[in-house]
Structure 1
């Protein structure tokens, strides 16, 4: 049945496009048809391939065609097509390519290069591909590279600019998560705790990752009771969906169920050993 439906939709596309319409009308109809389907669907792919046969200068259509290959797991074709979009309209699509490098390729260097390049094209404002400042994205990329000082500088720049322009309440809360992770990996626990607490403050105290890392820190500091409570709360947040996840790809330093369960088991064992020692 699904095969018949796809065939029917493809036939509809052909019938739409062979009618006696102007070239512009055919392009618009093909694009509108493509936009009506989820990126990655064959109908989406075929519609934009046809539109680009009629007009190969439309950067947005190259971008649409590139994404459908990326989401179908064919990244080498994505690269060829997104490069065409960037060449035609770098101000719009170079930052987006950097975002794809960051999350789909995990090529942090190329991501940073694209973020810097697109920001240089717009000196009067900071670019925000996919809804966030290039400084926020660069902070994540530098964390991926373990270039911690650069990550902190990028996050701080993003926080300062966002606070000045829009207010502290509109800062993306994962900024505090990632910044806290940076300080945690630097073993600067005071600043890590500060940022994880800010994460919880601005997420209404429901964010599994923040509680997980706080529990890790308190465990290392010997505060087993506090760590155990946080770890159990973190697991609940995880099961309720209040965690750092992304569609399609693994998020940076993403945690899984076994991470929470392992930490809870370690804390239970440590508590048991502590009780045995005190009894002796």
Structure 2
């Protein structure tokens, strides 16, 4: 009996498809009505994800490319349910979106102009008292002639937490918020957290190297192979380049990186994307650089 309602839900979409095709043949003004019977993005779905935010809790079926195929959302405080399918196209004459699993099906009110915020079409309504049954097995969503599903059943742990959130209860065994990880001092410049990818620069004649982490430059050469860290001020440049300005042994230290496709260190066939200009101990040196 549980499977009969799901089959009926899918057959309803098929019947509406036939009805819309008939309407299309008789009225050209209905040309916007969709005839798709399934959601191709949902067919490539890979996994369910439970997402908790300040504005509510979402149970999302993610496609293989990471995009959402189906969203179930309960706003903070519970008691309401939103079912969104980004691939559905709005139909002006359709105001019902059906959703369910097995023998449990519920109807939600769908906006005729689509969901501008989430994309596609969303159905909204009070959270059903049998929400646990609606997501206990393979799920299907139908809107007019458009159907997404049957889709894989959400993991039981995710389903339990989502149902609790929709009822306005604390989710059982909810993970504690993870405090933000403090940034390395090298990645902070004043109050600004730097977004600088780690880089390595090197040159020959004489040999030198520099490892860059944020605004920290560890400068090394044959007499100081372990390297000495120089605290600099970082100024962003084009295409991953920039300038790191500081002092080493009481003298100016400046490393400039600039885009130069095919930069050569003169000793290998490696082509680097950045050219390096170094001022250290009053001498100017050249080299190449690349992300680590």
Provide TM-score, normalisation by structure 2. 0.19
**Structure whose alpha-carbon radius of gyration is higher:** 2
- Decide which structure has greater helix share: 1
- Decide which structure has greater strand share: 2
